[in-house]
Amino acid sequence: MGDTPTLWEWAGGTAAFERLTEAFYARVVEDDLLGPRFARMDPEHARYVAIWFAEVFGGPTTYTDEHGGYPHMVAKHIGMAITEPQRRRWVNLIQDAADEAGLPADPEFRAAFLGYVEWGTRLAHQNSQPGAEVFMDAPVPHWGWGVAPPYQG
């Protein structure tokens, strides 16, 4: 199992996550539920989220080294009061974007990818509620294949 690629490698590296977040935020800004939330987003936002994903999925630790790491990401969501329909739309649109960006479509990759997206969006939803007790001092999570490593023949 020593030669099992990371999810980052399997996806095609950071460039693949940059394609993903470009496609995702193009959809987000046009979306009725999410668009208003992102109306004033930083023009670099898609790139920041791409380097976040890259780090989560086993790529370079650039978000931690150069962009404030986990506390910076969590702080961005505090007080936002994300609703469940908004969270679910985020999940739906990132999957549409994964198709558009040509991320691997094999069952193992998509199961692991969606597992992280479910986990991450549910945490963002919880942490964004007014008065939420938010745990700030954590590392960027490292997501793996779980029970189903990639099928390599």
Residues at the contact surface with ligand HEM, assessed by CB under 6 A: 34, 37-38, 41-42, 45, 48-49, 52, 67, 72-73, 76-77, 82, 86-87, 90, 117, 120-121, 124
The residue among 69 and 151 lying less far from ligand HEM, judged by its C-beta, is: 69
72 is in an annotated binding site: yes
Q: Report residue 119 CA to chain centroid gap.
A: 10
Closest distance between ligand HEM and the C-beta of residue 92, in Å?
A: 11
Closest distance between ligand HEM and the C-beta of residue 77, in Å?
A: 6
Residues 6+ apart with CB under 8 A from 98: 20, 110, 113
In terms of Cα–Cα distance, which of 111, 88, 84 is closest to 98?
Answer: 111
Closest distance between ligand HEM and the C-beta of residue 68, in Å?
A: 7
The residue among 8 and 52 lying less far from ligand HEM, judged by its C-beta, is: 52
The residue among 29 and 150 lying less far from ligand HEM, judged by its C-beta, is: 29
The residue among 4 and 122 lying less far from ligand HEM, judged by its C-beta, is: 122
Check if the beta carbon of residue 146 is closer than 8 Å to that of residue 115.
yes
Residues 6+ apart with CB under 8 A from 8: 14, 17, 54, 57, 58, 59
N-terminal to C-terminal alpha carbon distance within the chain: 13
DSSP conformation class of 128: T
Closest distance between ligand HEM and the C-beta of residue 105, in Å?
A: 19
Q: Residues annotated in the binding site for heme, as ranges? A: 72
